[in-house]
Amino acid sequence: MIKERRLIASFCFVSFLFLLLILFLPLFSFQSALYTKRSANTFVGDEKYLAVRAEIESEAAAYQEKGIETTISEQVTERTNSKGKKTSMVAFSLLSTDIRSGWQLLASPFACGRILFLCLILFGILLLFLCLGLVTAGGTAVRKFKPFHHFLLDIPIAASVLLLFCVPAFALSLNLTFGRNVTLALSQNLSESDSAALFSGLDQFLFGGIAGDKLADMLGTFSFRLNPVYWCLLAPVVITLVCTLKLRFGQIRHPFLRLLLYLTVVAFSLFILYPFFVMFITAFRSNAETTDMYFLHVLPTKWIWSNLKDTLERGVLRYLINSLLIAGGATAIAMLCGIPAAYAMARMNFRAKKAYLGFIIMSQMFSPVVLLVGISRLMNTLHLNDSLIGLMFINAAFNQAFAIWLLRGTFVSISSEMEQAACIDGCSTLSALLRILIPIASPGIVTTLIFVFINSWNEYTISTVLISTQTNRPITVGITQFSSFNMIEWQYLFAAALLATVPVVILFMLIEKHLAAGLTAGGVKG
Amino acid sequence: MNNIFVRHKWDPYLWILPSVLLMLIFVIFPIGIVFRLAFSDISRAGVVGEFIGLGNFISAVSAPVFPTVLMNTLIWVVSVVGLSTLIGFTAAMVLNQPFFGRKIARSIIVFPWAASLVIQASVWNYIIKMEYGNLNNILLNFGVIKNAINWRATYQIEFIWECAIGIIVTIPFVTFTVLSGLQSIDSSYYEAATVDGASFGQKLFNITLPLVRPSLTVSTVLNIIYVFNSFPIIYTITKGAPANKTDTMVTYLYMLAFYDQKKGPATALSVIGFLILCLASSIYMIVTMRKEEAL
């Protein structure tokens, strides 16, 4: 309990520290050129140079009067032109460097300012409830800690966790406003109203409203730098991770700290789902948007659902049917051969049993990739190359070891008493298998079945080698038709990929639980 | 086991006959063919000539790219198996904790295992494109970076990406194997250890690790085999380019056999790879058989 209270205190303290850091440290500096003057054919020290110099100095003095500190930068480019004459160009610019800290953002119309405002509110809540909790529970002995006090102390914890997550959000939106949005607005990729709002906001925030029409020019040389301390702002993520690990170790059972466990799990899940998310959104983009150089939108501006229909019409339907046939046929063959073998291995004793078991375990390493040359020759001899039937048999054979292994595990775990009784009553071994064992073992059988199906569905390497006719391609090979050497139609590629992925992922989720149990029996991956 | 099911001495062999036949024709035969080809002279058209001993092996091993390919294979296998085991183990520990939404998390982690490797590799291939890739898109739109980053500037970086993708797609397998091992550990061990005041580290090294070691061994050895044989990721993203610099053994031998039409050296490489795998899987067989006997 004391540990928990100490943790609450440290959490609140850390979040307070971060808030102070953002608010009062000079976090970011902006450099922009208020005034630029270029003068051609000017050599350092000559009359023209001095005139321009005087002009820029008077300009600087004018800004000085308005209360803006500037520095004059001078850039000389010398080169010899084609006639062998030496030319020189001098460019003067009036640079102003503005350093801002977080509290100055509060009044600005940018999103980062609003996040900071939210942080302050959260901190207020934190402080209020921390005081309330400590005052009411103050003198109470640890054992007499009432649920009410827990509740009072839970709120500051929640507020500080949220506050810590606001910090990276703040940093991100800072970058977004002063980096990305400025670039986009200058290259006229933002909508007019957006860029007008951005420009007026920037004008107020950076130059106190003096820039007016000159703002676009000033922003042309705009650069935005962050204090190195800024990187410390990403530390909350580390802190929360460490706390999660501590939580995982079971030392802290505080309900709100469990929140951190969830945050880690959510982060990891998001990471896993990321490529699938990309597949999904890209599948419904327009062709122009898949190869958009300006990276304008995260989500498709217009969801083009007809991409799915188009891919189906461009041969994908045929590939899906082929895949279905191959995977279905392979599963059927693998089960027809595998169930009897697994039955014999589980229920009967014979001399070669151990050798066969060893062979089955060993054969999990027989990868079709290493044997590709042999397989393609064999299929040539059997006249099964470029045919779906050949692929069915190959897939069945390479999944056979796994199927027997998993089925055997299931059969062994089921007591043989009922079958024995049936056999004594005169039932044949075959009907004992069909009528008694298979119905009981059906969960294990379905798991094996689905697993073999998925493996055959996802098989790619042998199909690329064996299949040469376009209409015989399975989906994994078929999707490559959308990526030719010089043009890739990403939206169709991913629409087809989506169609190929959704069914297997759903099937896999169904057997996931049984598979984990089956893996203890042998451990097999596709 | 009793023999009430065996009416005739040959009965069991009849039961296993279909599976033996299937594997004999489609697995053992190709192995035989590969071995025969590896020791024979093969013309570019594919006509098998006479026995030439180790000639194919010598020309395969003496190819200038062979050391690079071997090194890549080593890096590929070690990094993918090592890191995915580490991350998968941690993920399994987290998923073994009871928490709300654990089922959903388990369903999500299954995704990379279920989806086809060639599809996932294509998606990642799109994600890390510099000009319009999704990673740059997201990072730019969230303001993390200012200019598009070339995520695949050199072939070394591309190879690192391939390894990373290999790790991501391998994690679920490790997680589920370890998870099934973790679930079989009796919680009373931990309770006793907690009563005795053991720290987390002590519990991890003295209870968890020894008890999940069999599952961990199974997953590691199988992973070595599968990762060694993994083909679609590298083939989709770089195709071994530039000049075989990112090839592993299997992609290299595929290119050799089906692009360069050098079937002789390719089959010789197959045999070498086959022997390496034999070593790994005999270790696996010994471990599993021992476990089987213990049951």
> Which amino acid makes up residue A224?
F
Q: Does A38 touch chain B (CB under 8 A)?
A: no
Structural contact between residues A368 and B250, judged by C-beta atoms closer than 8 angstroms:
no
Q: What's the angle, vertex CA A461, arms to CA A372 and CA B75, rounded to 5? A: 90
Question: Residue B1: pLDDT band by 50, 70, 90 thresholds?
Answer: very low
What value does the mean pLDDT take over residues A317-334? 94
Q: What is the rounded CA–CA span in Å between residue A10 and residue A17?
A: 10
pLDDT at A260: 66
Query: Over 90: is that where the pLDDT of A323 sits?
Result: yes
Percent of chain A clearing pLDDT 70 (strictly above): 87
pLDDT at A523: 39
pLDDT at A522: 46
CB nearest to B177's CB, from A338, A363, A523: A523
Question: Residue B78: pLDDT band by 50, 70, 90 thresholds?
Answer: very high
Q: Does B187 touch chain A (CB under 8 A)?
A: no
Query: Over 60: is that where the pLDDT of A293 sits?
Result: yes
* Optimal mutation site among B89, B119, B220, interface A, most CBs of chain A within 10 A: B119
pLDDT at A525: 34
Query: Over 60: is that where the pLDDT of A141 sits?
Result: no
Q: Which of A303-312, B4-13, B116-125, B148-157 comes out lowest in average pLDDT?
A: B4-13
How far B141 CA lies from chain A's nearest CA (Å)? 7
> Which amino acid makes up residue A282?
T
Tokens of B229: 């044989």
Q: What is the rounded CA–CA span in Å between residue A508 and residue A276?
A: 15
Question: Residue A137: pLDDT band by 50, 70, 90 thresholds?
Answer: low
Higher pLDDT, A466 or B10: A466
Q: Following CA atoms A285, A290, A292, A297 in sequence, which dihedral angle do they give, to the nearest 10 degrees?
A: 40
pLDDT at A145: 55
How far A315 CA lies from chain B's nearest CA (Å)? 17
**Domain A306-521 falls under CATH 1.10.3720.10:** yes
Structural contact between residues B271 and A373, judged by C-beta atoms closer than 8 angstroms:
no
Chain B residues with beta carbon closer than 8 angstroms to that of A508: 110, 113-114
Query: Over 80: is that where the pLDDT of A269 sits?
Result: yes
pLDDT tens profile B145-154: 777 888 888 8
pLDDT at B120: 93
What value does the mean pLDDT take over residues B184-194? 83
Tokens of B276: 């390496």
Query: Over 80: is that where the pLDDT of A287 sits?
Result: yes
CB nearest to A398's CB, from B27, B93, B266: B27
How far A226 CA lies from chain B's nearest CA (Å)? 12
Distances B77 to B235, B238, B287 between C-alpha atoms, Å: 16, 17, 20
Q: Which of A224-233, A320-329, B16-25 comes out lowest in average pLDDT?
A: A224-233
Higher pLDDT, B157 or A430: B157
Distances A373 to A368, A463, B139 between C-alpha atoms, Å: 9, 13, 44
Structural contact between residues B212 and B186, judged by C-beta atoms closer than 8 angstroms:
no
- Shortest CA distance to A416 belongs to which of B117, B54, B3? B3
CB nearest to B22's CB, from A400, A416, A420: A400
Contacts 24+ apart (CB under 8 A), B45-52: B46/B261, B46/B263
What value does the mean pLDDT of chain A take?
A: 80
pLDDT tens profile A330-381: 999 999 999 999 988 888 888 888 888 888 877 777 778 888 888 888 888 8
Distances B163 to A114, B109, B133, B150 between C-alpha atoms, Å: 41, 19, 19, 18
Its pTM stands at 0.78
Tokens of B132: 């319009």
Q: Which of A363-367, A496-500, B191-195 comes out lowest in average pLDDT?
A: A363-367
What value does the mean pLDDT of chain B take?
A: 84
CB burial of residue A276 (10 Å; 0-12, 13-18, 19+): buried
Query: Over 70: is that where the pLDDT of A521 sits?
Result: no
Distances A122 to A112, A128, A136, A156 between C-alpha atoms, Å: 15, 10, 21, 9
Domain ranges of chain B: 66-246
Q: Which of A1-15, A395-409, B84-98 comes out lowest in average pLDDT?
A: A1-15
Interface of A with B in 381-410 (CB under 8 A): 393-394, 396-398, 400-401, 404
Would the ipTM clear 0.90, i.e. be above it? no
pLDDT at B83: 94
pLDDT at A237: 62
CATH topology of domain B66-246: MetI-like fold (1.10.3720)
Q: What is the 3-state secondary structure (H, E, C) of A124-179?
A: HHHHHHHHHHHHHHCCCCHHHCCHHHHHHHHHHHHHHHHHHHHHHHHHHHHHHHHH
Chain B residues with beta carbon closer than 8 angstroms to that of A251: 200
- Shortest CA distance to A356 belongs to which of B228, B17, B49? B17
pLDDT tens profile A166-217: 877 887 788 777 777 777 777 777 778 878 888 888 887 777 777 777 777 7
Tokens of A22: 């953002």
Q: Does B112 touch chain A (CB under 8 A)?
A: yes
Percent of chain B clearing pLDDT 70 (strictly above): 95
Question: Residue B292: pLDDT band by 50, 70, 90 thresholds?
Answer: low
Tokens of B286: 């010994």
Domain ranges of chain A: 2-23+104-234, 25-77+86-101, 306-521
pLDDT tens profile B106-134: 889 889 988 999 999 999 999 998 888 88
